[in-house]
């Protein structure tokens, strides 16, 4: 009797009977993805072919006119150049800083948690308060000038771009530090012992052991920072504003057109170009990763 | 021999001390903000010296800030927004992930691919049209407007799925043989055993939402519904003569909660960040 029951249950386990339960469980996720990801994406594409009114309703169909207008405009070309310049500066800068900090923290010793937490702390810091502190630090009578003895207003003119990049690099470095630290700590101990026996310098160890073994993380972090630079909006808006400047990158133009001038269709064009750029860079990441990255 | 060990130990301790000093320099902007939040605005219109700080030390900035700005209302809005997003995403993702982890059903791959595609769509790209939707729904200046677009999250769904799939298959089998229904297994075993993932997701979402800027900037138009980030940002550059001291005070008030959450939840946050982020 018992055996029969067990067999029956066993059959029941094996049989793929239809149940609506998985669909019911998936309904909320799918509804929200459709309403707030897929529909807006399609709608964004659609709006670029219409002249929209001030509340974003499509009016007359204008075909490719808005696309042509944007693609032929000087400010668009400038924003592309700005974006590439900004993203590569942030990508390289953040990676370099995070790598130095992570290499410094590789050894897990007593007390290392203290500086590890400090190096990772920027993860928790929002753009607005950092911008508030930094506008003071780099102002005419700020602490930076008090230390260096200069009297520049750093967040203006020629020093604007490097100062903003410097601030963003610092603010972005926390998560990169964590990823690289995980990569560096993956390095097998016996490998390092061998290197020590052979008398390898810290320099050699870094380039011949740490970097190759942590190459998945190194690679990930470089692209993570480039991609997050495409989306970095808060710091630029608060420190610089959304007007024309060296920091008028694509996302700033998107905001400026859609939410300052209420030209939603032009904003949507910038949004789609931004996503195209992000998509292309992700593709490059995918392709290059297969060629360069070394997996253990 | 023992001398060598001692020498090695001291060397290590000196190394740690040096690194802590570098760490303090690294986070020094926070200390600068903290120190100058106690210096009156008027004193900051000339280059500060050590004496400026010592002689004028006062809590006046904080008193002024509390009198003139609804700081607690800002913080409350931020916290409520975080709470709604965390609860919604944990509930929705924990249920949906179960379908992907334990069921085989028609169109499963298609739906899974849809989730993957949705994760690849950058949030900023749908911001404009989502804003139009939220405004048409009349949800500007409401909590729902602030949070509705973040109810479903591909990332949390993935973390739940991974957590469910790491549960031993024998446990599921044994439960089924004993007559445990799918839903009961989900609520009584799978979700409670995913507590580490829930903690990681919650802390990541908390820091992300508390520090969010663009979306609250669009949705919260009334000062009563400002989050702390918007309240903070409005202070910067709004006056002809900036009130640096008061700005620092607000900055400190807006940093304190995420910093505490970060220090307490660091391990969970790192686990959440690194789990499945990088292959290898």
Q: How far apart (Å, rounded) are the C-alpha atoms in residues B258 and B274?
A: 20
Is A149 a member of any domain?
A: yes
Q: Tokens 């800002």, residue?
A: B74
- Which residue of chain A comes nearest to B205, CA vs CA? A124
Say if residue A71 is in the same domain as residue A11.
Answer: no
Pair B92, B185 in one domain:
yes
Among A115-124, B90-99, B179-188, B253-262, whose mean pLDDT is lowest? B179-188
pLDDT at A296: 58
Same structural domain for residues A25 and A136? no
pLDDT in tens, A173-198: 999 999 999 999 988 888 888 888 88
* CATH, residue B178: 1.10.3720.10
How close B142 gets to chain A, by Cα (Å)? 17
CA atoms of A216 and A168, how far apart (whole Å): 24
Q: Does A146 contact chain B (CB < 8 Å)?
A: yes
B248 and B132 assigned to the same domain:
yes
The proportion of chain A whose per-residue pLDDT surpasses 70, expressed as a percent, equals: 93
Domain containing B52: what range?
2-63
Under 8 Å between Cβ of B258 and B210: yes
The whole-chain average pLDDT of chain A stands at 89
Domain co-membership, B152 together with B166: yes
A59: in domain: no
- Name the domain count of chain B: 2
Mutual orientation of helices A21-33 and B71-102 as an angle, nearest 10°? Answer: 140
- Domain co-membership, B38 together with B106: no
A14 and A152 co-located in one domain? no
Read off the pLDDT of residues B88-144 as tens digits, 9 standing for 90 and up. Answer: 999 999 999 999 998 889 999 999 999 999 988 888 889 999 999 999 999 999 999
What's the rounded Cα separation, in Å, for the pair A265 and A275? 15
| CATH value at residue A171 | 1.10.3720.10
Indicate whether A146 and A247 sit together in one domain: yes
ipTM entry:
0.90
Question: Would you say residue B211 has pLDDT above 70?
Answer: yes
A56 part of a folded domain: no
Residue-level pLDDT at A192: 86
Answer yes or no: do A9 and B176 touch at CB < 8 A: yes
Helices in chain B by DSSP H: which ranges? 2-26, 28-36, 50-56, 60-68, 71-102, 108-120, 127-136, 143-147, 154-165, 169-177, 182-185, 191-193, 195-210, 214-219, 228-235, 244-274
Residues B122 and B40 placed together within one structural domain of the fold: no
Please report residues of A whose CB lies closer than 8 A to that of B244: 135-136, 139
- Same domain? For B86 and B54 the reply is no
B30–chain A Cβ distance below 8 A for any pair = yes
- Provide the pLDDT for residue A11: 53
**Residue A130 domain flag:** yes
Mutate to test the interface with A, among B28, B126, B191, B246 (most CBs of A within 10 A): B126
Domain end point (choices B43, B63, B83): B63
> Can you count the helices (H) and strands (E) in chain A?
16, 2
**Residues 6+ away with beta carbon under 8 Å from B247:** A132, A135, A136, B235, B236
Query: Do both A112 and A193 map to the same domain?
Result: yes
**Domain coverage including residue A19:** 2-47
* pLDDT per residue as tens digits for the range A240-284: 988 888 999 999 999 999 999 999 999 999 999 999 999 999 999
Distance from the Cα of A283 to chain B's closest Cα (Å) equals 11
Average predicted confidence (pLDDT) for chain B: 90
> Is 90 exceeded by the pLDDT of residue A160?
yes
What pLDDT, on the 0 to 100 scale, is given for residue B279? Answer: 45
- Among A16, A29, A43, select the one facing B92 at the smallest CB separation: A29
Say what angle helices A127-137 and B28-36 make with each other, to 10 degrees. Answer: 70
pLDDT value, residue B276:
56
Please, are residues A161 and A188 in contact by the beta-carbon 8 Å criterion?
no
Cβ distance of B23 and A114 shorter than 8 Å: yes
Distance of CA A279 to the CA centre of its chain: 13
What distance separates the 2 farthest-apart alpha carbons in chain B?
77
| DSSP-assigned letter for residue B45 | G
Q: Does A121 share its domain with A18?
A: no
Total structural domains within chain A: 2
Please check whether residues A170 and A256 belong to one and the same domain. Answer: yes
A60 inside domain:
no
- Average pLDDT estimate for A153-158: 88
Say whether both A87 and A41 belong to one domain: no
Q: What is the mean pLDDT of residues A21-50?
A: 94
pLDDT tens profile A38-80: 999 999 999 999 988 888 888 889 989 999 999 999 999 999 9
Same domain for B155 and B18: no
* Residue B70 sits in the same domain as residue B180: yes
Examine the domain organization and report whether A103 and A183 are in the same domain.
yes
From B63, B90, B110, give the residue that closes a domain. B63
Query: What is the per-residue burial (b if ≥16 Cβ within 10 Å, else e) of A158-188?
Result: eebbebbbbbbbbbbbbbbbbbbbbbbeebe
Q: A9 and A143 share a domain? A: no
Residue A52 lies in a domain: no
């Amino acid at each position: 009797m018992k055996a029969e029951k067990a067999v029956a249950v066993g059959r029941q386990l094996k049989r793929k009977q239809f149940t609506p339960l998985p669909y019911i469980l998936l309904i909320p996720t799918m509804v929200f993805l459709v309403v707030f990801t897929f529909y807006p994406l399609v709608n964004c594409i659609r709006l670029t072919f219409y002249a929209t009114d001030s509340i974003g309703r499509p009016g007359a169909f204008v075909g490719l006119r808005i696309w042509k207008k944007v693609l032929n405009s000087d400010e668009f070309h400038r924003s592309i150049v700005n974006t590439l310049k900004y993203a590569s500066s942030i990508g390289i800068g953040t990676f370099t800083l995070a790598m130095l900090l992570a290499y410094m923290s590789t050894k897990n010793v007593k007390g290392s948690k203290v500086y590890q937490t400090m190096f990772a702390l920027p993860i928790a810091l929002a753009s607005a308060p950092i911008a508030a502190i930094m506008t003071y630090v780099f102002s005419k009578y700020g602490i930076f000038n008090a230390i260096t003895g200069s009297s520049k207003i750093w967040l203006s003119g020629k020093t604007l771009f490097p100062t903003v990049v410097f601030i963003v690099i610092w603010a972005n470095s926390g998560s990169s530090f964590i990823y690289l630290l995980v990569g560096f700590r993956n390095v097998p101990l016996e490998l390092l012992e061998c290197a020590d026996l052979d008398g390898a310098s810290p320099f050699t160890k870094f380039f011949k052991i740490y970097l190759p073994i942590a190459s998945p993380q190194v690679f990930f972090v470089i692209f993570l920072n480039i991609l997050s630079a495409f989306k970095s909006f808060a710091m630029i808006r608060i420190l610089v504003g959304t007007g024309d400047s060296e920091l008028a990158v694509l996302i700033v133009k998107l905001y400026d057109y859609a939410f300052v001038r209420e030209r939603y269709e032009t904003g949507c064009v910038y949004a789609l170009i931004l996503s195209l750029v992000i998509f292309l860079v992700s593709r490059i990441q995918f392709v290059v990763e297969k060629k360069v990255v070394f997996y253990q | 021999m023992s001398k060598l060990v001692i020498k090695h130990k001291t060397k290590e301790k000196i190394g740690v001390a040096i690194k802590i000093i570098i760490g303090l320099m690294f986070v020094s902007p926070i200390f600068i903000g903290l120190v100058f939040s106690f210096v009156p605005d008027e004193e900051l219109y000339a280059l500060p010296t050590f004496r400026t700080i010592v002689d004028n030390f006062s809590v006046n900035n904080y008193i002024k800030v509390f009198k003139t700005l609804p700081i607690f209302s800002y913080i409350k809005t931020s916290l409520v927004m975080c709470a709604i997003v965390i609860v919604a995403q944990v509930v929705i993702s924990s249920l949906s992930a179960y379908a992907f982890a334990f069921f085989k059903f028609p169109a499963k791959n298609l739906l899974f691919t849809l989730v993957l595609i949705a994760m690849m769509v950058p949030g900023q790209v749908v911001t404009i049209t989502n804003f139009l939707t939220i405004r048409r729904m009349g949800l500007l200046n409401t909590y729902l407007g602030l949070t509705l677009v973040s109810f479903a999250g591909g990332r949390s769904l993935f973390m739940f799925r991974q957590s469910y799939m790491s549960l031993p298959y024998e446990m599921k089998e044994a439960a089924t043989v004993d007559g445990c229904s799918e839903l009961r297994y989900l609520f009584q075993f799978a979700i409670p055993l995913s507590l580490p993932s829930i903690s990681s997701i919650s802390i990541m979402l908390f820091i992300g939402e508390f520090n969010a800027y663009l979306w609250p900037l669009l949705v919260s138009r009334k000062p009563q519904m400002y989050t702390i980030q918007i309240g903070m940002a409005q202070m910067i550059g709004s006056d002809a003569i900036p009130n640096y001291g008061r700005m620092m005070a607000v900055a400190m008030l807006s940093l304190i909660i995420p910093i505490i959450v970060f220090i307490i939840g660091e391990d969970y946050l790192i686990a959440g960040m690194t789990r499945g982020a990088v292959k290898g």
